[in-house]
Chain A
C-alpha cells in the first residue's frame, strides 16, 4: 500500500479508536502520536504517491505535507488545550472531539491526494460533517446555532458540488467514455480539449459555488466566522483552515480544465471573470467587516475569508506566475493563521480558559504584562497577517499585484485598496492587544509553557518559504503552476 493511501487510512482508523476509548488526556497523547506518524507519511508520499484513485500529484504532495505539519503542531498545542479545558466537557464529548480531529485530517488528506472528482467530493463532505460535529460540541445555544448554519450552508454547497461533479463526468463522456477515467483529474486534464465545453461551463458554475462555499468565498462565507468563533479552537479554527485549501485547490483544478478547454478551441467559457468577481467580493467585504469586531476568533475568521479571496483572485488572473503566487499565498497564510490560532488559544487559556466566551479582544488585551513571550509571538503572527514586509505574505501579495498590473491593470486598484484597508484594520489591533492595561488589576505573570514553541516554528517556516525558498521547492511549485495555468 502506498504512503498516500496509508496517510488517509491511518487517521480514519485512529478516529474510530479514539471515538470509543480513552480519557481526554490519553486521547490527546494518542492524537499526537497518530499525527506524528501521519506527518512522516506525508513526507513519504513524495516517494510513494500511490496508484489508481488515491494518487498524489505534486500539488497534493506539497499541501499534504503542509497539512501533516500543521496537524502535528496542532496536536502538540492541543495537549495544553485539553489540560486546561478538561472540566468543561464530558469524557464522551472529548472522545468525539479527538475522533473528529482525526477524521478531519484524514478527509483533508484524501481531498488532496485523490485523483478522482467523486472521491474529492466525498472527502469534502466528510470533512464538513466532522467540522459541524466539532462546532456543536460545546452545546451552548450559540454553538448549536453556528453548527446548524454551517450544516445547512455546507450541505447546500456540497449538494451543488455533487451536481457539478456529475455534469463534469457527463462532459467527459465523448472523450473518455464510461468508467473511472471520466472522473480522474489526470485523464480529464490530458483530454481537456475534447471535453464538452458547454457542459463543462454548466458544471463549473455548480462546482465553483459548491466548493466556493467550503472555501468561504463571498457571498457563500456566512458560516465561517460563526464556526471559527464557537467551536473548540484547535479543531474548528486550525484544522478546518486546511479545508479551505482543499476547496481552493479543487477550484483551481476545475479552472484549469476550463482554461485548457478554451485554449484548445472548446466551447467552455473563460473561468477567470467568475473567480475574479468572487475573489474581489471576498476581499472588499472583509475590508469592511474587519472593523468593529469584538471577538478575536470571529475577526480572524473574516481575515481567512480575505485570504481565501486573494488566492481565488490570483487564480482568476491566471498565468503561471499568478497561480504560483496564489499557491504560495495559500501555503503562507495557512501557516501563519494556524500559528496565530495556536497562540491565541493559549493566550485565552492563560486568561481563564479557552471557552468560546474568552476570546473577546477586551478580555485578552494587555498580554505583554502577563506573558511577554506569548505576547510577542501573537503580535508577530498578527503582523505577519497584514502582509506588510517583512511578513512572508508580502512576497506573494506583491507577486499577485504585479501580475494584476500586467494582465488586468484596472483591477489592481480595488485589489490594492482592499489589501491596504485590511492591513490597517489588522495592524491597529496589535498595540492595544499587547500594551494596553490588562482588563483586571493585579493579573500576575504566567508561564505559557513550551507548547507555543510550535507556533514560533510556523513563523520561521514562513520566513524561509517567503525569502529563502529552497530551489527544489521553487522548481516544483513553478512546474505545478505552469501545468495548471
Chain B
C-alpha cells in the first residue's frame, strides 16, 4: 500500500490543477476540455485505487467514469455549445483574478480543515481527502461566479468529480460504483436540462405565458 501514495497523490494533484484552471477559464469550449481532462485523470485514479486496494468495484467506477464522463458527457456538452453557437466568453460575476484568489483561499481552508482532523485516520486518505474537498469547493466557486447556465453545470460536474475522488480514496467503502452512477444520473439530467433551456431560449415560438402568469399573480 505504501507505494500507492505517490501516484494516487500525483493524480489527485493533476485533478486539482484542472479544477483550478477551470476557475480562470472563460471560454466554454476550453472549460469542457478541462472538464474532460479532469474526468480522464479521475478514471486513472479510480483504476489505480482499484488496483492498489484490489477492488473490482473501483475498477468498475473507473470504467464508468472513463466512458461516460470522459467521452459521452463532453461530447454532449460540445454539441450544445456548437448547436447554440455559445462561443463567446462567459460573463463572470467578479474579475477572474479575484475568483482565483478566492480559489487559493478555499484550497487553504480545505487543507487547514482536513489535515488536522484526520491526523489519526488512515494516511492514504488524508491528503486525498484534502484535495477532494478543494475540488468540491472550487467547483462550487465556479458555479457561483458564472452567470451562464452551461458553465454553472460544468462547475457542478467538477464538484461531482471531487466527490467521486473522495469516495474512491476511502479504504474499502461499499457502494462506490453505485453512488457514482447515481451522481452521474443527476449530472446527465442537468446537461439535458441545459439543453432544454437553450432550446426554449433560441426557439422562435418562445412561450412567454409563464412569465406573464407570474406577473399577473405576483410572487
Q: Which residues of chain A have a CB within 8 Å of any CB of chain B?
A: 116, 118-119, 121-122, 125-126, 128-129, 132, 139-145, 147-148, 151-152, 155-156, 158-160, 162-163, 166-167, 169-171, 173-174, 178-180, 182-183, 196, 198-199, 201-202, 293-295, 298, 356-357, 360
Contact = CB atoms under 8 A, between A and B. Distances in A.
Nearest to B139: A159
Nearest to B162: A163
A125 B181 CA distance: 11
B113 A202 contact: yes
Contacts of A295: 217-219
A125 B133 contact: no
5 contacts: A142-B210, A151-B189, A178-B171, A178-B172, A298-B219
A159 B156 contact: yes
B118 A170 contact: yes
Contact of A179 (B172, B200, B211, B217): B172
A143 B211 CA distance: 10
A357 B216 CA distance: 9
Interface centre among B117, B152, B183 (most CB of A within 10 A): B117
B156 A156 contact: yes
Contacts, number: 137
Interface in B142-194: 143, 149, 152, 156, 159-160, 162-163, 166-167, 170-175, 178-179, 182-183, 185-186, 189-190, 193
Contact of A148 (B125, B186, B197): B197
Given A122-B178, A125-B182, A163-B166, A140 B209 contact: yes
B129 interface: yes
A158 B113 CA distance: 21
Interface in B112-143: 113-114, 116-118, 120-122, 125, 129, 132-133, 136, 140, 143
- Bin the interface of chain B by size: 35 or more
A156 B143 contact: yes
Nearest to B213: A357
Contacts of A170: 118, 121-122, 125, 129, 170
A380 B178 CA distance: 46
Given A125-B186, A196-B120, A196-B121, 11 more contacts: A118-B178, A125-B182, A125-B183, A141-B200, A152-B152, A155-B186, A167-B129, A167-B166, A182-B173, A198-B116, A199-B118
B196 A122 contact: no
A151 B207 CA distance: 21
Contact of B122 (A139, A173, A293, A356): A173
Contact of A121 (B160, B179, B185, B218): B179
Nearest to B118: A199
Contacts of B175: 116, 118-119, 122, 183
Given A152-B156, A173-B121, A357-B217, A178 B173 contact: yes
A174 B167 contact: no
A202 B121 contact: no
B179 A148 contact: no
A344 B219 CA distance: 18
Given A129-B186, A142-B211, A151-B189, A199 B173 contact: no
B218 A294 contact: yes
A227 B162 CA distance: 28
A140 B196 CA distance: 12
B159 A156 contact: yes
A294 B214 CA distance: 11
B171 to A, nearest CB: 5
B219 A163 contact: no
Nearest to B194: A148
Contacts of B101: none
A174 B123 CA distance: 12
A141 B196 contact: no
Contacts of B186: 125, 128-129, 155, 158
Interface string B22-39: 000000000000000000
B27 to A, nearest CB: 22
A8 to B, nearest CB: 15
A151 B179 contact: no
B117 A202 contact: yes
B209 A151 contact: no
A122 B178 CA distance: 9
Contact of A129 (B117, B189, B218): B189
Interface centre among A116, A132, A139, A162 (most CB of B within 10 A): A162
Given A140-B213, A202-B117, A118 B193 contact: no
B98 interface: no
Contacts of B210: 140-145
B193 A148 contact: yes
B170 to A, nearest CB: 6
B218 to A, nearest CB: 4
